[in-house]
Amino acid sequence: MQEEKKINILSAEKQRIPNTLVDLNEAQQKEIHELIETLEEDDDVQAVFHNMQE
């Protein structure tokens, strides 16, 4: 289809969008943020998704 419309795609990516969000207290949010930061520091991890209400 993009060939028919002569659209050049430069990049594409998938993103997970949650259907339901979870509301956490401050302590839980802090813990999850620390976990996310730790995961993102790992060279093997490409992306981290969560369903935490911010």
- pLDDT of res. 7: 83
> According to the per-residue pLDDT averaged within each range, which of 12-16, 36-40, 49-53 is highest?
36-40
Alpha carbon of residue 29 to chain centroid: 16
Domain boundaries, the chain: 1-54
Of all residues in the chain, the percent with pLDDT exceeding 90 is: 63
pTM tops 0.75: no
pLDDT in tens, 27-49: 999 999 999 999 999 999 999 99
**What is the C-alpha separation between 33 and 10, in angstroms, rounded?**
31
Instruction: Tell me: pLDDT of 3 over 70.
Output: no
Rounded to 5°, the CA angle 26-45-13 comes to 95
Instruction: Copy the structure tokens of residue 12.
Output: 């594409």
For the segment 1-5, the average pLDDT, to the nearest whole number, is: 66
